[in-house]
Amino acid sequence: DAGVIQSPRHEVTEMGQEVTLRCKPISGHDYLFWYRQTMMRGLELLIYFNNNVPIDDSGMPEDRFSAKMPNASFSTLKIQPSEPRDSAVYFCASSFRGQAFFGQGTRLTVV
């Protein structure tokens, strides 16, 4: 397996634009997590899914953030509209028996 695949690796967008981050988890993993990492706040859990069902989205900072998992092999994190303070590295991770495997991350810059 190629591991958790995230796209794009880098995204630069203007404030107000919609941003969609994509994640393909490892096949067979039943949990999927979206994290955000910044220097100020460290690693924050935004939302996680179990068997494609959102379990806890209490970490999603605002209504501008939304996440979906339409099937076991794909998830998206959308920010609409984006703001400069959303600039961060966004990681997707999938897990099996509690062990998490991380994607390479998407570095988002909102100018």
Partner 1 sequence: AQSVSQHNHHVILSEAASLELGCNYSYGGTVNLFWYVQYPGQHLQLLLKYFSGDPLVKGIKGFEAEFIKSKFSFNLRKPSVQWSDTAEYFCAVTGGYQKVTFGIGTKLQVIP
Residue 57 interacting with partner 1 (CB under 8 A): no
The DSSP secondary-structure symbol of 104 reads: -
List the one residue from 26, 67, 69, 93 that touches partner 1 (CB under 8 A): 93
Rounded CA separation 4/12 (Å): 22
User: What are the residues whose beta carbons fall under 8 Å from the beta carbon of 58, sequence distance 6 or more?
Assistant: none
Q: Of the listed pieces 19-27, 63-71, 72-80, 102-110, which binds partner 1 according to CB under 8 A? A: 102-110
List the one residue from 5, 20, 22, 31 that touches partner 1 (CB under 8 A): 31
List the one residue from 75, 82, 86, 95 that touches partner 1 (CB under 8 A): 95
* Residues contributing to the site for partner 1 (CB under 8 A): 30-31, 33, 42-43, 45, 48, 50, 55-56, 91, 93, 95, 97-105
